[in-house]
Amino acid sequence: MVRMSGKTNGGTVPACRTLALVAVALLASCEERSSEGSSTARVVLDPMGVVRFDDVEVHFPALALPAPGEYPAAADQSGVRFGSVSDAGFTAMTTGKLVVEVCAPERVAMVLTRDGSSEVRIDETPALRPMEAAVVQGGPAEPIDAPTDLPGPDSEDLFFAALGSAGTGLPGQHRVADSLARVAPQGPLDFVLVLGDLFTPRGAQSGTDPVFERCFESVYDAPALDVPFHFCFGDREHLGNVEALAAFESLHRRFSAPALSHTFEVENHGVRLAFVAIDTTSCLGDVRNPLTRRARSSVVQNLSASDADWKIVFGHHPMYGGGSAEEVAEQARLRQQIEPFLSDHGASLYLAGSGRYQAVLEAKGGVTHVVTGAGGGPELAESVTFDDDTLFAATGGGFVTARFDGEALQVVVRDVDGEPLFAHRITK
């Protein structure tokens, strides 16, 4: 179970209701057929890198489910390995082959040849292995009620959504997308900010890469989501060909990723709002790399070039929020390299999409920080720490919506089903 915590601008208040993070999945059985007979096996899929059935494991890179085809026992560039598992651990096979018909959360069908005469065949709906239970660590102990006085649809207002780390390809990503479609009419929805790591596991190689269909087109296809999706780059996209996203943009009117760093503006209630996308992955690189220097300088250039009344910055990596030692170090570097420019140039909000949780943090130098990396749903949710600077924290999947009414920007954190958990009002 998860406790979601929050506090108002006036001080600490108890946290929100709890959610169940991981649903119980039924283990599916399959038949093992060999020259010696048959026996029952169970199929479990861990999207972070393992298919297990009976005493066999197939290993693959995280979130890179093996594509249909034939894989030899000798390790190849795909990173797919297979072998036997025992109390002593995993032993990779050196002979034989694996033929994959399909490997997906809905179905696993493959044939493993151990030697010339022994085969293991499976064709079943797998159980998804639950991740370690994600929780909100710390925070006030008593629950608070979710917001119930949110304004209704108003076409005069600006209404947008933001989500990050969504590209799991798992049922949870589709569940979040379906929830976003149900919430969209409450705006109505004007556009979506995609905060990186949508095209997993290794970005895209071309404008027609199948990852676009798997992680975008077949997921956000509801009529209510026929709006622009403004994209910023994450770590996963940088593992591929970043130019492929520009090629994809030229083929799809809803998708916008004109450059690693870019800006777009909208006018609402007579007020101009600038949305500035920054490439935090490049910003965190070696300063000797020209791409790193360009990414950092573009933050200043894009912010200083805009004289909009409101400036909203969005990127992949957060500047606050905790996490692993590596993540904390990255946040400290971004605060040193980027944060002063946000304050100096009048930004009011920074939205980040790394870290598979959600958090609203107290304003720093006039900038409210929001982390919403839960777009992939509950399967890969991560724990989050509630500290002294945290206004609210939650995990288990979800997204953020924001409404601008001409005077203030109201940010609403929503769970995996689109239900509002916490609302925070930002004024100039």
* 248-269 average pLDDT score: 93
pLDDT(20) > 60? no
pLDDT of 165: 96
Chain-centre distance of CA 39, in angstroms?
A: 39
Beta-carbon contacts of 213 under 8 Å, excluding residues fewer than 6 positions away, are none
Residue type, 326: E
pLDDT of 295: 95
CATH superfamily of 2-22+135-427: Metallo-dependent phosphatases (3.60.21.10)
pLDDT of 18: 32
Give residue limits of the domains in the chain. Answer: 2-22+135-427, 28-128
* 346-359 average pLDDT score: 95
* 178-187 average pLDDT score: 97
Q: Give the H or E element holding residue 108.
A: strand 107-113
| Segment 50-86, tens digit of pLDDT | 999 888 899 988 888 888 999 988 766 678 889 888 8
pLDDT(28) > 90? no
Compute the radius of gyration of the chain from its Cα atoms: 23
Give the angle 228-213-106 at the CA atoms, nearest 5°. 125
